[in-house]
Chains A and B, each alone.
Chain A
Amino acid sequence: MSDNSIRFRPVSRRRVLAAGAAGGAVLAAAGTVPRVLRAQPAAIKVGLLHPVTGAISYSGQQARAGALMAIEDINAAGGIASMGGAMLEPVLGDAQSQPEVGAAEVERMNEEGVAAIIGAYASSISLATTQAAARYDLPHIVDVGVSDQIVSRGLANVFRFGPGFGKIADTAITNLVTINEAAGSPARTVMIVHEDSLFGSGLADLLNARLPEHGFEVLDTISHPTPTRDFNNVVLQLKARQPDLIIPANYYNEYVLLARTMLQQRVQPKAVYSVLGGAASSFRFLEEFPGAAQYIMDCNHWYDPSNPKSAELRQRAEGEGLYFTYEFFLDYCCVGLLADALERAGSAERPAIIEALAASTWDGHIMPYGPTEFVDGQNQGARPVNTQILGDDIEVIFPTEVASAEPVFPMPERG
């Protein structure tokens, strides 16, 4: 925290150059190898399509950085062995936070001959890009895009590594019930605060439908636009109705404002239980506002802390001056998923890659998903994880087999 200046560098550009240089170095090294050895196989182009400018550019840039690091790693480890050590070559795309720009980038990437596309972070953009890629049977791995519509349109080229809404809402409720019952069921009333686009409102609808089935009473559901400039009114309502649980589902900026205002207005629920809370499992938030972040729980994309590779990757990301966010590690894993498929396909032909992805049983990732298994494009093992901010770290509290701490619930008085 003392030295934030290291985080100001335009890392993406530098990393692109570095990736290019690394690739170049490998090629150069190959060039010095005696010619009698087999020729260097052609690089496999991988489209990395993210919204790196515009409203959601932070997430897009994090996702791109994660994917680029994975490509570097795979190339450093010798590329795709079954294809004679072919290197992966990133083809970068910017969706500018707009679906139609994303779709246009798919067209460009297709012409540049990418073997597959990884992206496009937001659900609305992913809907457009997967559909555009479908025209060319171009394999498209969806990194985040939680809307279940993405994988329910019967597009054979689409594979989503992470969980969708339905799964996330189910897990969030199941774990909430478990946590609550373990503490003697102190919580009964709930208020949901969500952002009002596809992601927040879709989730709020699911929660509203399912929470009452488990004996929770939803006192109120407050939706707010992104950006929202001030949360005092929302917090006033929370304070007036005093729910046992507050469930926020929104993006980073709004989450931070909400959490800060709750602390300032001394709102004391039994738990802040976020579902895909924008900042609730963010190291940046914890670092900058440890007071407001303390004891916040989140059901979100998260890595398996018991996997030694995850700690190592986190260290490397932080070494690059990046926060280790879900966009970063999900995209890192998506590249690995593709590399595994390429390895088994032994070819950069699109149908072969699609077939290999569909048959994928890859477990080299750092997510608590188990080996991949795709049904209609959705990774069956994908699931969110419950985290809680305890002290100066983000601990996993569920599922128990990967948990690093016990949940603290109800949360103690915060000051």
Chain B
Amino acid sequence: MLQLSILAPAVLNGLMTGAVYALIALGLTLIYGVLHIINFAHGALLMLSLFGVYFLNRLAGIDPYVALVIVVPAMFALGYALQRGIIARTSHGKDENVLLVTLGIALIIENLALFFWRSDTRTIDVPYAFDVVDVGFTFLSVPRLVAFGAAFVVAGLLWLLMSRTDLGRAIRAVAKERQGARVVGIDVEHIFAMSFGIGTACVAAAACLLLPTFYVTPQVGNAFVLIAFTVVVLGGMGSFTGALVGGLLIGLVESLGGLFLGETLGQIGIFLVFIAVLLFRPTGLFGDRT
């Protein structure tokens, strides 16, 4: 009965946490949808972006939201280069090799971060970090609300990009039929790298929105990478709407699971939902049914 009074705040809270998961999963789902690779470096790239935001704030006093205009393009370029320079060259078209290459990249990035920046937990101090909106029955954190809204904006922008631009059309063509796309003159390698770059840019955006309420260490990516995979599968690999809804849903499941089963056992809800989706609807909630 006591628990019922916190049900509503817990639901809101789950949705806001879920928005962050969605932000991180958006990039992953794009990369999976186009390249069909499971990108193990996604967590490491998130960590690198977080460090970028952190240093911009600490050394140059740049607000994390302003840092979007620096970190996002920088990470896009890095993602593009990684795909073009390393992943494409080492994968030989084999999925298992791609997997291990991204694993290798993650090892390099994480351990170089550890070497150069040590594993101290770093946080930034922004004036609005503790700001809340009083909605009567609970306080909602302002930076988390911002992230919540941003998840929709990013998903919307990605949708526009994919449906309204030539690049988007080319990406979709490559995702569906890479040989055919090549035949009609699309530079498939370039499109692959663009997709990886955009996926990485998404995770950079997530980093800018996350850091005001979180922290960064060289290992921080591991906290999110499994969840992001779950969201991608739940939503349907390659679907932006799916990633958004999937993220919110996973946030909700985690929040309510934590409330009723305890934080430790509650995590099991995420994976049970994940298994159920794989078994009964392997294309995910919004996946292509082909």
Contacts and interface: CB of A to CB of B under 8 A. Distances in A.
A–B contact with Cβ pairs below 8 Å: the answer is: yes
A240 B10 contact: no
A230 B16 CA distance: 10
B262 A266 contact: no
Contacts of B214: 229, 257
A256 interface: yes
Contact of A236 (B120, B123, B138, B264): B138
Interface in B216-232: 217-220, 222-224, 227
Given A53-B114, A236-B138, A253 B121 contact: yes
B262 A223 contact: yes
Nearest to A65: B118
A228 interface: yes
A241 B3 CA distance: 9
Given A264-B130, A265-B139, A288-B125, A233 B258 contact: yes
A239 B3 CA distance: 11
A142 B165 CA distance: 62
A32 interface: no
Grouping DSSP codes into helix (H, G, I), strand (E, B) and loop, the B interface class, with mixed when no group exceeds half, is helix
B215 interface: yes
Given A54-B219, A240-B2, A264-B139, A233 B121 contact: no
B130 A260 contact: yes
A101 B187 CA distance: 46
A10 B116 contact: yes
A58 B264 contact: no
Contact of B259 (A5, A12, A230, A237): A237
B145 to A, nearest CB: 12
Contacts of B215: 253, 256-257
B73 interface: no
Contacts of A53: 111, 114, 119
Contacts of A237: 3, 6, 259
Interface in B173-202: none
B219 A55 contact: yes
A408 interface: no
Interface size of A as a range: 35 or more
A229 B223 contact: yes
Contacts of A154: none
B59 A229 contact: no
A233 B58 contact: no
B263 interface: yes
Interface residues of B, number: 48
Interface string B84-128: 000000000000000000000000000100111111110101000
Given A236-B138, A253-B215, A58 B5 contact: no
Contacts of A13: 115
Interface in B248-290: 255, 258-259, 262-264, 267
B9 interface: yes
A225 B264 CA distance: 6
B224 A223 contact: no
Contacts of B258: 233-234
B58 A57 contact: no
A328 to B, nearest CB: 13
A84 interface: no
Interface string A18-34: 00000000000000000
Contacts of A284: 120-121
Contacts of B259: 233, 236-237
A234 B111 CA distance: 32
A28 B267 CA distance: 59
A223 B258 CA distance: 10
B49 interface: no
Interface string A256-290: 11001001111000000000000000001000110
Nearest to A234: B263
Contacts of B6: 236-237, 239-240
Given A230-B13, A233-B258, A241 B2 contact: yes
A11 B118 contact: yes
Nearest to B139: A265
A363 interface: no
Contacts of B29: none
A291 B123 contact: no
Interface in B16-72: 16-17, 20, 58-59
Contacts of A300: none
Contacts of B146: none
A222 B263 contact: yes
Interface in A152-179: none
A196 B218 CA distance: 22
Interface string A227-251: 1111011101101110000000000
Interface of A: 4-5, 7-8, 10-13, 53-55, 57-58, 61, 196, 222-225, 227-230, 232-234, 236-237, 239-241, 252-253, 256-257, 260, 263-266, 284, 288-289, 291
11 contacts: A5-B59, A55-B222, A58-B121, A222-B263, A229-B17, A232-B13, A232-B17, A236-B13, A240-B2, A256-B123, A264-B130
Given A253-B121, A256-B121, 5 more contacts: A223-B263, A230-B13, A253-B217, A264-B141, A289-B123
Interface of B: 2-3, 5-6, 9-10, 13-14, 16-17, 20, 58-59, 111, 114-121, 123, 125, 129-130, 132, 138-139, 141, 213-215, 217-220, 222-224, 227, 255, 258-259, 262-264, 267
